[in-house]
Chain A
Amino acid sequence: MNESNREPTLLAFDTSTGTLAVSLYRDGHVVDATQSFTERNHSVRIVPEIREMLRRNGTGKEEIDAIAVGRGPGSYTGVRIAVSAAKTLAWTWDKPLVGVSSLEALALGAWQRLRQEADPLGRPAWIVPIMDARRGQVYGARFRAVAAGAGDVLAAGAWARADEDGIRLIGEWSEVLSARAAEAGASLWFVGETTPFEAELAKLEHAKTVPFAMDGGAIGPLAADRLRRGMTDDVHAFAPNYTQQTEAEAKLQASEAERTR
């Protein structure tokens, strides 16, 4: 950034879900965003999409202040595609790299659309982004949001993380959240890949379910916020957040624990 107060220009992308999301963030807002449903094809489209976005907006590498990327969780292979591209691009162009949680991007993206419908009394909303992790599990997190009029969604006090990204059993977890939200007087919103869990979530009394596909729109603001606070990532050390070990490592650990018992 040339001037300290200027909003940064960011190239942002995410491939943690079935959606390939690419966006350009400039002057405090998203100026271009594409969302393609290219399941299993992210590695084919990601680089051409990035190139087309830069060309379409007449943006050269010298104008880019940082590369922003969703670091997962999500599909292992999927997350690796965006992270490999982001690390390589940041290194090649010598730009700062800013990793954001793909779950937070999913949550914020949904909240940007939902907040008009939020409680007019200003009660907090619990935004719970989920992604299908198979076998009744989800990658999930929880954010506490307050609809502060038309102001910045990320303004102080308007958006805060409440639970870390992790892999959880949807049945158990959703019931606990539902009870706790009722107790806290908060509205509860499950957003993201909710469709596979519709039956499960419909049982909950105080929850709303909003299917929502990842869009590039939320990564830019989240990354700009981190960049402002100097929270850039080390390009070489940067890795996806898988939230769990590989099966092989888990099995080996279990069998070693068994042996030492």
Chain B
Amino acid sequence: MTDKDYLMLAIETSCDETSVAIVRGGREVLANVVSSQIETHRRFGGVVPEIASRKHVESITLILEEAFAKAGVGRGDIDAVAVTQGPGLIGALLVGVVAAKTLAMALDVPLIGTHHIAGHIYANRLIGEIVYPALALVVSGGHTELVLLEREGVFRIVGRTRDDAVGEAYDKVARALSFPYPGGPYVDKLAQASEEEVELPRAWLEPDSYDFSFSGLKSAVLAEINRAKMKGEELAQGALAKGFQASVIDVVTTKAMRAAQAFGVRQMLLCGGVAANLGLRERLTALCADAGLPLLIPPPSLCSDNAAMIAAAADLKWRRRAFTPLDMVAWPQLSLEEWSVQD
């Protein structure tokens, strides 16, 4: 077994997807089974942590079995077990962490505790080569960050949201427009289809800042909905969605391009659940093309939470034999920068 053909089993349970992947050599995805709980959480209008934890326990071994069946390998073929150590919902993380430790012990292979955002970023390595220094724009339901990778496996957060994550803002706006949870994709579709646009503010913050803020924008959308209601006007849903999406995309892509230039990166990486947003993909693609900056964007199946991306990030530690002891702690506030490789 070499670094090119070792088999990694990875588990991801940080939020509402139970996922198990089997990946060969850190790059070749043999199985990436994702069991989504969205249907369960929809009637509550969002993820209920206790229910998410209960669902993870109920499905964990079934998803393991499916992954092995799909990969066509045996339990004894596994060389390492990776798991999302954090960040995430503590109760949800714990199920995956305990299952992973148990597997590592039972199969007598090393354990690799892995950072969820490193997973999102390294999902890009499942589809292409990463060229350093690179800049990752991470956009998801829980995260909005600009991460600089000066070299492989070394993470530096240069910008982050000061309030809502992008995906969170999308879901809140979608709820105000009466779309079911999770509403991000509805807002994206509505925005794409609309000709009209309601002009909404952009939060640029300090001139030199790469941070983000979306709570003002969200409030502006809610105010517009209220205004229409008070005046008895029919709400221009499409125009409002288009205005909201335009503001978000304008701010995140402008800041990402500015940071890319300032740090002299050679590649842009888009990742996280909101990277499935069509408007965002198109705009960033156009901007990077104009700037002559290579761009990687994973397919939507590797943008939302999945275990293959955890295996891709854990590969950084596997190749350095940086394993995690079995008394590892599931850590909701795990730091990405501290998770960087140590060489």
Contacts and interface: CB of A to CB of B under 8 A. Distances in A.
A137 to B, nearest CB: 17
Contacts of A90: 61
Interface string A36-65: 000000011111101100000000010000
Contacts of B90: 77
Contact of B50 (A43, A48, A61, A247): A247
Nearest to A46: B98
B89 to A, nearest CB: 11
A224 interface: no
Given A43-B97, A47-B98, A239-B58, A88 B51 contact: no
A99 interface: no
Chain A interface residue bracket vs B: 20 to 34
**Secondary structure class of chain A's binding surface, majority of residues:** helix
Interface in B53-104: 53-54, 56-58, 60-62, 64-65, 75, 90-91, 94-95, 97-99, 101-104
Interface in A55-111: 61, 76-77, 80-81, 83-85, 87-93
Interface stretch (B124-132, B155-163, B322-330): B322-330
A248 interface: yes
A258 interface: no
B286 interface: no
B105 interface: yes
B54 A85 contact: no
Contacts of A246: 48, 50-51, 54
A239 B326 contact: no
Contact of A50 (B57, B95, B105, B327): B105
A252 interface: yes
A249 B98 CA distance: 26
B231 interface: no
Given A44-B327, A47-B326, A239-B58, A88 B44 contact: no
A44 B328 contact: yes
Contacts of B326: 47-48, 51
Nearest to A86: B102
B95 A84 contact: yes
A18 interface: no
A235 interface: yes
Contact of B94 (A45, A80, A240, A252): A80
A247 B50 CA distance: 9
Given A77-B91, A248-B48, A85 B102 contact: yes
A43 B106 contact: no
A246 B60 CA distance: 20
